Amino acid sequence: MVSEIYEFLEKLETSTRAMIDGVGDLCQKKWRSVKKFNYLGEEGEEFLEASNFLDGDLIESFLDLSRNMMDQVSERIGVSVEELCERVEELKRLHCLVVFKT
């Protein structure tokens, strides 16, 4: 993935995450993290945050935000709400094509 696109999507993901509640009592970052295991394969109590990973579901959830929340995300990123919606809709269409094609 081109670094410009990755950086844009990462900003969108981070800004959207700030607007929504996590699943259950977990914050979104913890929801997508993995449990740490020791060298014997025993489960520990620590979690490792996901890295170099874009959460497509979270990015698509931008479209479910209220207009006020979309405006806040737009201001943080410096891209109009209309352009953000267009770009997320395009990603959503591509995602659907990949899912149905496989």
Question: Which residue has 């914050």 as its token pair?
Answer: 27
Task: Give the model's pLDDT for residue 92.
Answer: 86
User: Which domains occur in the chain, in start order?
Assistant: 1-23+53-96 (1.10.150.910)
Tally DSSP H helices, then E strands, for the chain: 5, 2
The pair of three-digit structure tokens given for residue 83, joined into one six-digit string = 């352009």
**What's the pLDDT tens digit per position in 58-95?**
899 999 999 999 999 999 999 999 999 999 999 888 86
Q: Which residues pair with 6 in a beta bridge?
A: none
Q: Please compute the mean of the pLDDT values over residues 6-28 and round it to a whole number.
A: 81
Q: Does the global pTM surpass 0.85?
A: no
Task: Give the model's pLDDT for residue 1.
Answer: 54
